[in-house]
């Protein structure tokens, strides 16, 4: 089943065949309102998310709308408000989280608020699955906000254990940054946008990053680039940025402009994304971008106990001869050329899932966590 939420204040599920069920309707009070970000399913199988407004604190600067929340909801629809932002003096804990959460390998959840914090320019926070929130970093802590401000996007945990994200403003030139932060809260600004002539490297990244199978991070900037209409870029975990594509490079911006959303990497190795404007009709585009990366597999879910059923999704899986969880062989069934069904084997440990096919061995894009 697919689970998500929409702006009017609902959490819902939709089966692959299209059956819609509303799990919870926010009531625009203490439980929060306007859940604009996606949900994440944690290793305990519950779902976690944020609301942009609402919660227990209806005060300045949030006014009558509230400052936002972090919530937990079971797959059957029981919702628990874990935290209401602006619970600290002067909203030092942040408010207005536009982005969703990511569960790190330590089991805690990490996210950002677009405003609030010690300097009013947003925060990075962690919260336990029980609801204990810690503000790890307040943006604009450096002179002229050289460390960035207003993070609208969420975080991604890379294979090195650090978390990576973007800010839409701030940095050396005021046009946003890419940063990394350790799970304990040490932040490093890796790149400040608009560092090249005429902002050829892009500016104002509103979307988050993904780590591709080659270890590099990929994202979009909503403006800047060779034509001023946004870019697709890659950045190494140490901060070397390469502009891969500048939008509006075709006549009448037929290739699109203003990519406010991020990227996804398909199991065939290709990236996909969308632009807000441009295209043949001016209403935006859906695009693909290939940088020569090879295929891989992904697991659904990305964690489970021994015996749990796991779907492995990929490309050209017909004829698969083995499936392993961090080296431990598992029983499996090839469902289709794009799906293998398996179970977590006895003795499996946290690590990479691999599928051996006639065309080679495919590795999972993220580690599978074996829960005990």
pLDDT of 95 strictly over 60: yes
Q: What is the DSSP letter of 372?
A: -
The yes-or-no verdict on residue 297 having pLDDT over 70 is yes
- Residue 61: asked if its preceding bond is cis (omega within 30°), the reply is yes
Q: How high is the mean pLDDT of the chain? A: 93
Are the CB atoms for 247 and 258 separated by under 8 Å?
yes
Q: What is the pLDDT of residues 209-241, one digit of tens each?
A: 999 989 999 999 999 999 999 999 999 999 999
Nearest to 284 by CA among 257, 249, 263: 257
Q: Is the pLDDT of residue 1 over 70?
A: no
Task: Give the pLDDT of residue 371.
Answer: 82
pTM: 0.92
Please tell me which residue, 196 or 346, carries the higher pLDDT value.
346
Distance from C-alpha of 195 to C-alpha of 207, rounded to nearest angstrom: 19
Reply yes or no on whether the pLDDT at 100 is more than 80.
yes
Q: What percent of the chain has pLDDT over 90?
A: 84
For residue 16, the model assigns a pLDDT of: 83
Given strand 2-6, what is the order of strands in its sheet?
2-6, 10-14, 20-25
Q: Give me the mean pLDDT over the 326-354 stretch.
A: 96
**In this structure, are residues 108 and 169 in contact, taking their beta carbons and an 8 Å threshold?**
no
Q: Which CATH architecture has domain 298-371?
A: Sandwich (2.60)
Domain residue ranges in the chain: 1-98, 139-293, 298-371
Q: From the CA atom positions of the chain, what is the Rg in Å?
A: 21
Q: What is the pLDDT of residues 254-276, one digit of tens each?
A: 999 999 999 999 999 999 999 99
Q: Which residue reads 């179970």 in tokens?
A: 343
- Reported in sequence order, the residue ranges of 118-230 that DSSP labels E, i.e. its strands, are 123-127, 133-138, 156-157, 163-167, 177-181, 187-192, 210-211, 217-221
Residue 14: band (very low, low, confident or very high) from pLDDT cuts 50, 70, 90: very high
pLDDT of 71 above 50: yes
Q: What are phi and psi of 362, to 5 degrees?
A: -105, 130
Q: Tell me the residue ranges of DSSP E strands in 148-194.
A: 156-157, 163-167, 177-181, 187-192
């Amino acid at each position: 089943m697919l689970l998500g939420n929409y702006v009017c204040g609902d959490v819902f599920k939709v089966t692959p065949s299209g059956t819609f069920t509303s799990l919870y309707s926010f009531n625009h009070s203490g439980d929060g309102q306007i859940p604009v970000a996606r949900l994440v399913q944690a290793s305990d199988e519950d779902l976690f998310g944020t609301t942009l407004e609402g919660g227990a604190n209806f005060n300045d600067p949030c006014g009558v709308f509230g400052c936002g929340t972090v919530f937990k909801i079971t797959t059957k629809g029981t919702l628990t408000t874990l935290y209401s932002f602006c619970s600290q003096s002067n909203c030092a804990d942040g408010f207005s989280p536009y982005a969703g959460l990511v569960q790190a390998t330590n089991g805690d959840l990490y996210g950002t608020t677009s405003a609030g914090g010690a300097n009013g320019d947003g925060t990075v926070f962690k919260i336990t699955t029980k609801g204990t929130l810690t503000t790890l970093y307040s943006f604009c802590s450096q002179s002229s906000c050289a460390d960035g401000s207003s993070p609208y996007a969420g975080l991604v945990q890379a294979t090195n254990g650090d978390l990576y994200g973007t800010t839409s403003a701030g940095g050396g030139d005021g046009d946003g940054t890419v940063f990394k932060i350790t799970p304990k809260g040490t932040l490093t600004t890796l790149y400040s946008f608009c560092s090249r002539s005429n902002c050829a490297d892009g500016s104002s990244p509103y979307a988050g990053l993904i780590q591709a199978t080659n270890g590099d991070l990929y994202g979009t900037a909503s403006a800047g680039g060779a034509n001023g209409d946004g870019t697709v870029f890659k950045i190494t975990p140490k901060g070397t940025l390469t502009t891969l594509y500048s939008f509006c490079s075709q006549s009448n911006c037929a290739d699109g402009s203003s990519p406010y959303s991020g990227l996804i990497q398909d199991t065939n190795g290709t990236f996909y994304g969308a632009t807000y404007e441009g295209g043949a009709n001016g209403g935006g585009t859906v695009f693909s971008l290939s940088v020569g990366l090879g295929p891989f597999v992904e697991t659904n879910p990305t964690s489970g106990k021994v015996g749990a059923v796991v779907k492995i999704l990929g490309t050209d899986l017909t004829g698969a001869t083995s499936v392993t969880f961090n080296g431990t062989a598992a029983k499996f069934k090839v469902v289709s050329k794009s799906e293998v069904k398996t179970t977590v084997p006895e003795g499996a440990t946290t690590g990479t899932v691999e599928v051996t096919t006639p065309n080679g061995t495919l590795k999972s894009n993220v580690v599978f966590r074996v829960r005990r």
